[in-house]
Amino acid sequence: MDVTSFGIDHNILLRGIYVSRKDTVENGTLTTFDIRMKEPNREMVMDTAVMHTIEHLMATFFRSHPLWAERTIYVGPMGCRTGMYAIFKGDLESNDVAVIIKECYDYMSQFSGELPASKAEMCGNYLDHNLEITKIECKKFVDEVLSCLKKENMIYPRQEK
Ligand SMILES: [Zn+2]
């Protein structure tokens, strides 16, 4: 199965959870997910402060999760600011992570208190955060996408050759 994201047409890509790529490493497979929060080239992107706050909260959620901490290799923002990447151990499909990613976005949309790792000594740009807008963006993604995922929110549209 060809899983590279190179051939997808971003102009018709919707919001959702997509398998971006799979990499074979020594003893198994790593799956990179494209967690797409904005329709590329059609919707306003998130600002960098929101992307940064999501990065801190998403990393905290997965790295402290009793089951998923061990499976989580990386989470981070897309440079285009339309979504996040998450890399997990295992040969996975979107259905395998749909529940945990919705839990993560519920956690972020309801987060209160001090943002994790937001002290100057723990972050490269500690003033560049926006928790309130992050919560709004995460709730919107849950309500409009994650709570009603369809096939087209989990399978990439293929580029016409
Ligand atoms: Zn930071």
pLDDT digits (tens, 9 = 90+) for 73-119: 999 999 999 999 999 999 999 999 999 999 999 999 999 999 999 99
| Burial of 76: CB neighbours in 10 Å, binned 0-12, 13-18, 19+ | middle
What is the CA(52)–ligand 1 centre distance, in A?
6
What is the CA(149)–ligand 1 centre distance, in A?
30
Summarised one tens digit per residue, pLDDT across range 145-158 is 999 999 999 999 97
Enumerate residues with CB within 5 Å of ligand 1 (an ion): 123
Task: Name which of 81, 8, 92 is nearest 45 in CA terms.
Answer: 81
Coil, strand or helix at 56: helix
- Placement of tokens 């399978």 in the chain: 155
What is the CA(121)–ligand 1 centre distance, in A?
10
